Amino acid sequence: MKSTNLVKSKTEVYSYMPILTLTTDLGTQDQYVAAIKGSLLSLAPTATLVDISHDIPSFDFYKAAYIVKHSYYFFPEKTIHLIGVTPFSTDTHGYLAAQYKNHFFIGPDSGLFSAIFDEPAQQIVKLNGKTDPKFRTFSLIDLPVKAAAKLLNGAKLSDIGEKTESYYERNFLKPFASNHSIDGYITHIDRFKNIITDIDLNLFKEVGKNRAFTIAFKNYTIRDINTHYEDVISGESIAFFNFQGFLEIAINYGNAASLLNFSRGEKIKIIFNDHTDS
């Protein structure tokens, strides 16, 4: 398997360069990420390695899934995404590799994939191979890295694992809509402490039908959708649909999550009026 990332040379000839992204909770102050990158490049010297994030909170697989889910499709098809965040020992559940929307994902069987994928994967395999006892406390650098290197070098999923139809799945809250309202949830709080929800613009338009509305959260309300942070004065709350189409609540030059006392998983509601917005 070769990547579809095309690089044009001076002679107008295109060559393929395999890409692998890394998302972990390992941070960057220790040797762990360097060990992973060094191992990958030793096994696949022509690979291009891209860091998505190493600042995922420890064991927070849901945040890792969110970050990957909302960034992977910016990469060329056939990019390999290696995810090293898990809430429990991989000795019990092991690692999987999957093909989804013509990208490849390698990660722990922790419910991670059910948080990333919105529809069935094209193929899923359970990684096989002999584990190295010396990597028992750092399993990511063992089978997952070896499998990723094989894919980078042109192997197929069937070369790195056994096909499986079952994997660990988790149920996640999703927005619920009626004729007059949408109930959604906070799915992410970014580094600026902006609040990002799972309510997308298409659902808002479909249910709202151009009606006036109130966005209600805790003891606060917003009745307008703006387009930019600076559409309101400094310190005022604002709602808009971000570049990926999801409802976001922020405070211009402020810390929305802290000032509004919000955390991930909390509820937010949009109530539509019967009359149309003038």
H helix or E strand, kind and range, residue 127: strand 123-127
Note down the domain range covering 250.
176-276
Q: What is the DSSP string of 173-230?
A: ---EE-SSEEEEEEEEE-TT--EEEEEEHHHHHHHHTTEEEEEEETTEEE---BSSGG
Give pLDDT tens digits along the chain (278 positions). Answer: 444 454 444 443 345 679 999 999 999 999 999 999 999 999 999 999 999 999 999 999 999 999 999 999 999 999 999 999 987 766 667 899 999 999 999 999 999 999 999 999 999 999 998 888 899 889 999 999 999 999 999 999 999 999 998 888 888 889 999 999 999 999 999 999 999 999 999 999 999 999 999 999 888 999 999 998 889 999 999 999 999 999 999 999 999 999 898 999 999 999 999 765 44
One domain for residues 30 and 152:
yes
One domain for residues 31 and 135:
yes
Q: For residue 170, tell me if it sits in a domain.
A: no
Q: For residue 169, tell me if it sits in a domain.
A: no
Q: For residue 53, tell me if it sits in a domain.
A: yes
Determine the straight-line distance between the first and last CA of the chain, rounded to whole angstroms: 55
Question: Which CATH number does the domain housing residue 191 bear?
Answer: 2.40.30.90
**Integer Cα distance of 136 and 195 in angstroms:** 38
Choose one of 129, 163, 197: the last residue of a domain: 163
Number of domains in the chain: 2
Q: For residue 168, tell me if it sits in a domain.
A: no
Choose one of 98, 128, 163: the last residue of a domain: 163
Pair 140, 23: CB distance under 8 Å: no
One domain for residues 19 and 89:
yes
